[in-house]
Amino acid sequence: MTDGEETIVKIEEIKTLSGNIATVTGNIYAWNQKGGIVASSTRNITGVYDLSGGTWERTASYVANGHENLQEYGASVAYNGDILKEMSTKYTMVYPHDSTVDNNTKEDTEENLNAASNANYAKNLKIYGDAIRETSETGTGTSSWQEDYSDYVALYNPFMIRGGDLWNNSHTGRLSFHYSKTRGRYNDGFRPVVVPTL
């Protein structure tokens, strides 16, 4: 078969696709399917592709809820000596938290974590510019754009991480956010950001 004939065969295969099912030969997706250009950052042919996976990126942002993990895993970011930094600085972002739901008296359970995450997310209603409120609907689950993770910082996971790694499949991406203890792991990283001052 010549290259031209192969191209025609592939186009005919694409025309017969329905749903998000790849063909048996070549893993071809139709343009408007999840694996096609709908997977681009703008959900059309002009967007950037494959922004998912890679590594979770640690950020210098947290909730100052007083949990011991702030000291244990992030003393250099969250503390000035023995004093917890409760206000944002030019180097760190301290997110508001709902102290009635997110406090040291709560047991470290997933149920309490989810309740505190949603309550803290609600406290974030007036903060814009960090691509959380602009791109998500809730503080737990996968409500960010393109069904990315949207798990807000709370309780024993007071630090914010962004992105995702390859094991998180389609729920990762540049707009994904997740809570973390930020202990060192092989699938976590970070990126330095330099902002010019005027």
Q: What is the tens place of the pLDDT at every residue in 137-153?
A: 999 999 888 788 999 99
Q: What is the pTM of this model?
A: 0.72
Segment (H or E) for 72: helix 68-78
Instruction: Please indicate whether residue 46 or residue 179 has the higher confidence score (pLDDT).
Output: 179
| Per-residue pLDDT, 183 | 64
Tracing tokens 């002009």 back to the chain, one arrives at 46
Neighbours of 79 (CB within 10 A): 14
Dihedral angle at the C-alpha atoms of 52, 57, 59, 64, nearest 10 degrees? 90
pLDDT band at 57 (very low <50, low <70, confident <90, very high): confident
Neighbours of 62 (CB within 10 A): 28
Tracing tokens 């967007």 back to the chain, one arrives at 47
Q: What is the CA radius of gyration of the chain?
A: 21
Query: What's the N-to-C CA distance of the chain in angstroms?
Result: 62
